[in-house]
Each structure stands twice: as C-alpha cells, then as structure tokens.
Amino acid sequence: MNAKKNLAVLGATGSIGCSTLDIVRQFPERYRAVSLTAGRNVALLARQIAEFRPALAVVIDESDRDRLRQLLPDDVKTELLWGESGMIAAASLPDADMVVTGVVGAAGLMPTLAAIDAGKPIALANKETLVMAGETVMARAAAAGVPILPVDSEHSAIYQCIGQHPRREVARLFLTASGGPFRTLAPDRFGAIRLEDALNHPNWSMGAKITIDSATLMNKGLEFIEARHLFDMAPEKIEVIVHPQSIVHSMVGFVDGSVLAQLGIPDMKGPIGYALAYPERLPLELGFPDFTALAQLTFEPPDLERFPCLGLAFEACTQGGTLPAVLNAANEVAVSAFLERRIAFTDIHRVIRQTMERHTPQSQPSIEQICEADREARKMTSDEIRRCSA
Ligand code: MG
C-alpha cells in the first residue's frame, strides 16, 4: 500500500467536505487532512480542526478567523488564514498530495487554478469551475500533467465506464438525472412551489444550492457543460436521461454500440472514495442496491417545458465563450434569492434568461474576462431580481 495521502479539503463543512472527512476518519492509515477551508460554518470547522489537526485552516473573513481562534482548544497548532489568498494557500499547501474541491459555486475557480499550478491532483466536486472556465482549466491541467478526478457522481460514473478505453472509441455519454422533486408536477402548479418543497430531494442528501439546482434541473445543465469539458465531448454527443431511481449513475456508449453503466446506491462517499483512492477502490462497505426489491429501473427524456433551466444550459454550452459563466453566475444569484424567499421558483429561469440575453458573449475568453463576465452577470441578475420583487 502507498504512503498516507495528505488531503487539502476545500469546503470542509459542506456536504462533500463532511463525506470526505468521514472517509479520512474511516481510513486513518490512508488519509490525513492537512488543510481545511470553510464558508460560514465556523463552529463545525472548529470541531473538525480539533479532531483532524490540519496544518492550515481558512475561513472567509478576518472576523470569522478571530471567532474560530476562540473556539479552538489551546493545544491546537493549526495556522488560521482568511480570504481568497488563504483559500489559495490551502489549495497549494506544499504538504498536500491531493486537493478535494467541495466549494460551492464560482468561489471554487481560483483555488482550483492554484492547485493546478502547484501540480496537485484534484478531486473535483465544484462543477462551477468547469462550467465557467472549462477550456482553460482542462488545458492548464493537461499542460501541468495534473489529473482531474471527477467527484460528481455522474462524471465519476462516466470516468469509471471509460476506464482505459481510448477516447476515439467513446461515442456517446448518457448523463442520468433523478428529475428532482417536481418531475411529475403539473406544469400549472410550478408557480406555487414553496422553498420547503424544493429543498426536499427524493434521492440525494446535499447542500441547499445544489438541491435547488436539482429541482430546476439546472444541476443537470451544469453537469452537461462539466461533462463536455471533462471528457472533451461535443454537446451533441451528450444525452440527458431522466432516471428517477438514481441507481444508474451514468453510462457510456462506445463505437461498437455497446453501453457500459456504473451502478450503486446514491451515496457521495462512493464517488469521493473513488477519486481519493484511484486507481484503487476503498472497502467503503456502502452495500449494494437491492435489485430484486427495486423491481424496475426507468428512463425517460427530460421535459424542457417544465424545466427551462436545462434548455438554457444547453444553449450556453453550445454557444460557449463567456456565456456558461454568465449562466452560472445568474443561477447562483437567482438561487440565493429563492433561498431567501425573495423570488418565486419560476422566476429563477426567467431572470437567468434575461441576464443571458443582455450579455454580449466573448469567445475564447481569458480567466480575467470570465471573472468580469461573472461579476457583470451577478449585477444584472440582482437588478432583475429587484425589479421582480419590487
Ligand atoms: Mg451530480
């Protein structure tokens, strides 16, 4: 067995971060957490630091850093930093052997680039990074020889199915979607969707942002763009299929008409463990699907009338340039407004579409141009939201 692997865990207090630390706890002889970053959940981060004793921990701002210091036992030697420079330090810590990016949203981009530049293999759960800047990120990772191992369950499935097959033999990616809680809701009822309904995902337990993205199917749209970059696949060769049981995590079609699927129970420890241990497999003991009790696995096309966000993502993916970053930024702002009960569920796709229409896309943008498009889109979307809640 290899020596212990040191992990930088970005977004340690989120759903992916907590599952990653569960694996560290389960396999202390294999993994050590050497840096942890968090958003606002300082109390949980303090408990994680006391347990895992990382060399470095990072929060968003100075006042949280001070609060964190007060919560820690005196014998803790962890260095505490804050802000984007702190996140970048955590992602490029010399001691780290792998960076797990479980950060939500656009905040994942700069630390991911820093990890690539520092030559760290990445277990990527932050899909927004590839949505915003997929071409640049993949090109930089390839040039630096840095492997990017997907943690998103669908992309992990595709990665596992492709295995050692040469790229030319891969003809189609079948990206499965649970369809979320409103798959069969009558279209005229969407206006009455409450926040509580949207936060109630049928199969997966995840953070609030991705749960809303799953309810609008924007999550699948973002994953579509993610798959396009991760596997260098033309959009017309990626097919979204609704599979409500979430047992088939995705499939790959090969040039001979053969299709390989990856199956398992829906638990993020599966794909996280796969990325951490690749090319080995960890004895996670998650159990197997009970196939005879499942009775049936069903597949249906996505309904773009009910779920217009998916169509917007297809459009952004086809257009490329800065448009996917704009889609992503507008979505983040719209979802947080929905989470704060400032807009209705059906306003989410409306404000994203308006922002996309007002944006003038640039092709082959630099990282700076992408960040500028992101900032501008956030402002435009906030203006739209003020208009619809006024
Ligand atoms: Mg996913």
Quick check: 269 and 281 in contact, CB under 8 A? no
- The pLDDT value given to residue 209: 92
> Is the predicted pLDDT of residue 390 greater than 80, yes or no?
no
Quick check: 271 and 264 in contact, CB under 8 A? no
pLDDT digits (tens, 9 = 90+) for 100-109: 999 988 889 9
Domains of the chain: 5-150 (3.40.50.720), 165-264+294-389 (1.10.1740.10)
- How many angstroms separate the alpha carbon of residue 220 from the centre of ligand 1? 7
- How many angstroms separate the alpha carbon of residue 233 from the centre of ligand 1? 18
- Gap between the Cα atoms of 100 and 20, Å rounded: 8
**DSSP string of 5-54, one letter each residue:** EEEEEETTTSHHHHHHHHHHHH-TTTEEEEEEE-SS-HHHHHHHHHHH--
- How many angstroms separate the alpha carbon of residue 386 from the centre of ligand 1? 31
- How many angstroms separate the alpha carbon of residue 152 from the centre of ligand 1? 5
> Is the predicted pLDDT of residue 47 greater than 60, yes or no?
yes
Q: Please compute the mean of the pLDDT values over residues 285-297 and round it to a whole number.
A: 92
- How many angstroms separate the alpha carbon of residue 178 from the centre of ligand 1? 10
- How many angstroms separate the alpha carbon of residue 264 from the centre of ligand 1? 14
Q: In what order do the strands lie in the sheet with 170-177?
A: 238-242, 170-177, 248-254, 259-263
Q: Please compute the mean of the pLDDT values over residues 273-281 and round it to a whole number.
A: 97
Average pLDDT, the chain: 96
β-sheet bridge partners, residue 176? 241
- How many angstroms separate the alpha carbon of residue 223 from the centre of ligand 1? 7
- How many angstroms separate the alpha carbon of residue 50 from the centre of ligand 1? 31
Question: pTM value?
Answer: 0.95
- How many angstroms separate the alpha carbon of residue 224 from the centre of ligand 1? 10
Quick check: 152 and 127 in contact, CB under 8 A? yes
- How many angstroms separate the alpha carbon of residue 153 from the centre of ligand 1? 5
> Is the predicted pLDDT of residue 321 greater than 90, yes or no?
yes
- How many angstroms separate the alpha carbon of residue 174 from the centre of ligand 1? 13
Residue 251: strand, helix, or coil: strand
Q: Please compute the mean of the pLDDT values over residues 38-55 and round it to a whole number.
A: 97
Given pLDDT bands bounded at 50, 70 and 90, which one contains residue 203? confident
> Is the predicted pLDDT of residue 253 greater than 90, yes or no?
yes
- The pLDDT value given to residue 110: 94
- Gap between the Cα atoms of 141 and 137, Å rounded: 6
> Is the predicted pLDDT of residue 1 greater than 70, yes or no?
no
- How many angstroms separate the alpha carbon of residue 160 from the centre of ligand 1? 15
Q: Please compute the mean of the pLDDT values over residues 73-92 and round it to a whole number.
A: 96
Q: Provide the percentage of residues in the chain whose pLDDT is more than 70.
A: 99
- How many angstroms separate the alpha carbon of residue 202 from the centre of ligand 1? 14
- How many angstroms separate the alpha carbon of residue 249 from the centre of ligand 1? 8
- The pLDDT value given to residue 389: 72
How many other C-beta atoms can be found within 10 angstroms of the C-beta atom of residue 211? 21
- How many angstroms separate the alpha carbon of residue 267 from the centre of ligand 1? 11
Given pLDDT bands bounded at 50, 70 and 90, which one contains residue 69? very high
- How many angstroms separate the alpha carbon of residue 16 from the centre of ligand 1? 11
Q: Please compute the mean of the pLDDT values over residues 11-40 and round it to a whole number.
A: 97
- How many angstroms separate the alpha carbon of residue 94 from the centre of ligand 1? 30
- The pLDDT value given to residue 180: 93
**DSSP string of 48-88, one letter each residue:** HHHHH--SEEEESSHHHHHHHHHHS-TT---EEEEHHHHHH
- Gap between the Cα atoms of 235 and 104, Å rounded: 24
Q: Provide the percentage of residues in the chain whose pLDDT is more than 90.
A: 94
- Gap between the Cα atoms of 160 and 274, Å rounded: 9
- The pLDDT value given to residue 205: 73
- How many angstroms separate the alpha carbon of residue 100 from the centre of ligand 1? 16
- How many angstroms separate the alpha carbon of residue 242 from the centre of ligand 1? 13
Q: Please compute the mean of the pLDDT values over residues 174-190 and round it to a whole number.
A: 96
Give Cβ neighbours of residue 55 (< 8 Å, ≥ 6 apart).
Answer: 34, 35, 78, 79, 93, 95
- The pLDDT value given to residue 118: 97
- The pLDDT value given to residue 294: 87
> Is the predicted pLDDT of residue 2 greater than 60, yes or no?
no
- How many angstroms separate the alpha carbon of residue 108 from the centre of ligand 1? 16
- The pLDDT value given to residue 73: 93
- How many angstroms separate the alpha carbon of residue 59 from the centre of ligand 1? 26
